[in-house]
Structure 1
Amino acid sequence: MSAKFMILVLCILTISVKLCSQEVLEVNQIESGTEFWELYDEVVPIIETDTNAAIKLYEDAFHNTKNNFTKSSIIHQLGTLYSTPKQFDKCLSMCEELVKSGVSVFFTLRDKTYPSFTKEFENIDRYPSILEQNNELVKKMNEITKAEYYIQKPNNFNENKKYPLFMIFHGGIGSIQNLQHYWRSAFLNENYIVVYVQGGNFICSIKRRFGPEGKTDIKEIFKKIREDYLIDTSKVILAGQSAGGMLSIDLAINNHISAQGLVLAFPVKPREFGADEIYSSGLKGLRISMICGENDWALERQKEMSVIFDKLDVPNRIVIYPDNGHEFPDDFSSQIVKSVNFIDQK
């Protein structure tokens, strides 16, 4: 083999590595979701007794905040609340304000109208123009968007100390801000390096998907974290809700990431999942915790996974909340602690 050919091969490999590393991005600062979630907690108890008062709180907050995550999230809530008074024109005006400022909103998912209330916009004359502007924003962002991750260091972080790692993936669509809200845990804050991951498929300013490159992106993120931080690789936990739980399972049983355990909130069962797949992966030491709801459309498949894990002597626990569906229980932070303690059992 000639020296010139070897140099060419090395150059190609170097370029490939650089391109791969450019597909993920660590974000050091993100627009906070705290303002919206505090507002949400204030409004929810009011909705059942006084919808108009709830609408007024959301409207006032929309016009008074400069936080685009808050504005976009409020639109999603108001779209549903406006269904009774049929004030969809007012909701579209809020969308238009954001779009004109360069912030895309959630009009479609997989080329279908979504959320459902946006179907009502089709009866408003100016909607096609707003939709076109919004789609152009989404298109441009998808050309430059990468899978992103935000690292939360434990309290009193010591860069010379090895830490266990807790990686969290959103569901079919999601964001880092939503992960931070639902997976908040004083226990994790104290003991783990926590990594919140959002996909590289841009849906709108506050929604992402992992897309077909999701697993590749996550493996690259895991690699970069190990390069940048001292990680105890014997204590890596993968976690996620819904499709994020499915992604966690896939990463573990196919040996993409060597995990100590999985924390799965109402997970979706992977398509390629059975005793043969798990047995052939040669998993050793993996422990799994699933938090589910009795009214979840995915519950039967979740039970099937637990049975398969039992047959293959993969330690697992499944907690089923009698009044819950495809959603987080109110005491989910305590379930995080119980799940980690279960995984840490020898």
Structure 2
Amino acid sequence: MKPLILLAIIAASILTLSLGLFGQDLQQDFESYDQIRDSLDSLYDLEKYAQAIDLIKSVYGLFPEDDFELTRSHTLFCRMAGLYEVCMDVFEAGHKKGYFYFIMPGMKKYEPFTEFERFDDVVTEDARLREEANKESKTLMEVETPQGYSPDRQYPLLIVLHGGGSSIDRAKKHWHSAKLRNEYIVAFLQSYMHMDLITYGWRTSDQRAQEDIKKIYDELINNYSIDTARVVVAGISAGGSMALDLAINKIIPVAGVFGVCPGKPQDFEPASLDAARRKNVRAYILGGETDFYLSSQNEMAKAFKTTRLKYEQVVIEGLGHDYPEDFSTWIDTALDFLIDYEKHM
């Protein structure tokens, strides 16, 4: 058999096999939504947007509790495929179910939609639904105690704030380490402020959020055995900015603040920094070399140095606006810096 003919047969066989496997994927019985999510992630990486849309259509109704997330993925793949009208159809159908998607016309990803007349109505309805949800939502807390927790001894407390467009569940996947597991009470907070239906965000100088967090702090102190001299507030991105806001502006009393890829809080005045320094508050800023907030972090570090507030800034080579791979190690390193254990033991 000639080499070219043989290669053609092999290529055709591979194509047939891949199409057959994909067809099986559409027909298979998924045991969990996680399996669907993994399949969609793979198709996204392969830029097979049309196939992803077909898969989504085939599994609607399979896991009703995850219907919103599936519609959100549907809009993503329609947008990536340039199917803007279909994308708005999905948005409108979702709105009828009470879903909302954080559709902001100023975002670059929505620029192609602005040429469609009905997009303004889609944006307006999305904002209305989000505003109504925010009226009823609350700042939530989940607490994890260390192994062998006993009310007869006091423990340091770490308060963790998720990033923008995130949640408690997502934060818990990242904020874990040997030190937290064995030594710390960890309180995960979730903002009242919806972004879309199932994700949330923080805004610095938000009086409602600040008051909620004050109440949560008091609840923690009253219900758990906490050493109030060893409290650290931490977060990533918008959560890191909010953590800095809480620490520097004395919203709650803390010994230290750990910001991962944070932006600069709205209220970041020298007088507040000086007051924090006098209270011996320390700051640990962890960012990435290509993080779009790096310039803000450098600006904050300069202000810390000027006011003589004790701080550490780390910039990780090659990292963007994200958690580093060895984040557990960085958590423990930051906590060692922020809390003087010998002073409080």
1:86 aligns with one of 53, 75, 82: 82
Equivalent residues in 2 for 1:186-265 (5 A)?
187-210=179-202, 212-213=206-207, 214-265=209-260
Give the whole-Å Cα distance in 2 for the aligned partners of 1:338 and 1:59: 46
Shift of 1:54: 5.3
TM-score for the superposition, normalised by structure 2: 0.72
Give the whole-Å Cα distance in 1 for the aligned partners of 2:79 and 2:238: 29
CA offsets, 1:184-215, max 9 Å, x none? 44642443222222223344321334453222
Tell me the equivalent position of 1:49: 46
Question: RMSD in angstroms over aligned alpha carbons?
Answer: 3.5
Tell me the equivalent position of 2:62: 64
Q: Given residue 64 of structure 2, which amino acid in structure 1 is its aligned partner?
A: K
CA offsets, 1:83-123, max 9 Å, x none? 34223455445545544444x221435xx465834963974
Q: Given residue 49 of structure 1, which amino acid in structure 2 is its aligned partner?
A: L
* Secondary structure, counterpart of 2:200 in structure 1: strand
Unaligned runs of 5+ in 2: 1-31
Alpha carbons 1:267, 1:298 under 8 Å: kept: yes
Alpha carbons 2:277, 2:310 under 8 Å: kept: no
Task: Answer yes or no: is 1:342 the counterpart of 2:337.
Answer: yes
Give the whole-Å Cα distance in 1 for the aligned partners of 2:328 and 2:36: 20
Alpha carbons 2:277, 2:308 under 8 Å: kept: no
1:175 aligns with one of 167, 172, 187: 167
* Secondary structure, counterpart of 1:328 in structure 2: coil
* Secondary structure, counterpart of 1:295 in structure 2: coil
Find the structure with the greater CA-based Rg. Answer: 2
Change (3 A) 1:143 1:180: same
* Secondary structure, counterpart of 1:326 in structure 2: coil
Equivalent residues in 2 for 1:1-346 (5 A)?
43-44=40-41, 47-52=44-49, 63-68=61-66, 71-96=67-92, 98-102=94-98, 104-109=99-104, 112=105, 116-117=109-110, 120=113, 123=116, 134-185=126-177, 187-210=179-202, 212-213=206-207, 214-345=209-340
Shift of 1:139: 3.8
Give the whole-Å Cα distance in 1 for the aligned partners of 2:54 and 2:179: 36
Give the whole-Å Cα distance in 2 for the aligned partners of 1:302 and 1:163: 30
Q: Given residue 105 of structure 1, which amino acid in structure 2 is its aligned partner?
A: F
Give the whole-Å Cα distance in 2 for the aligned partners of 1:181 and 1:36: 18
Change (3 A) 1:82 1:188: farther
CA offsets, 1:248-293, max 9 Å, x none? 1222122222212211111111244354431234434333221111
Give the whole-Å Cα distance in 1 for the aligned partners of 2:120 and 2:249: 44
Give the whole-Å Cα distance in 2 for the aligned partners of 1:186 and 1:57: 40
What number of residue pairs does the alignment pair up? 306
Change (3 A) 1:108 1:87: closer
More strand by share: 1
Shift of 1:331: 2.7
Give the whole-Å Cα distance in 2 for the aligned partners of 1:49 and 1:59: 19
* Secondary structure, counterpart of 2:215 in structure 1: helix
Higher relative contact order (CA 8 A, sep 6+): 1
Give the whole-Å Cα distance in 2 for the aligned partners of 1:197 and 1:345: 25
* Secondary structure, counterpart of 1:329 in structure 2: coil
Q: Given residue 65 of structure 2, which amino acid in structure 1 is its aligned partner?
A: N
Q: Which moved more, 1:151-160 or 1:165-174?
A: 151-160
Give the whole-Å Cα distance in 1 for the aligned partners of 2:137 and 2:180: 29
Give the whole-Å Cα distance in 2 for the aligned partners of 1:37 and 1:144: 29
Q: Which moved more, 1:299-308 or 1:185-194?
A: 185-194
* Secondary structure, counterpart of 1:225 in structure 2: helix
Change (3 A) 1:130 1:47: closer
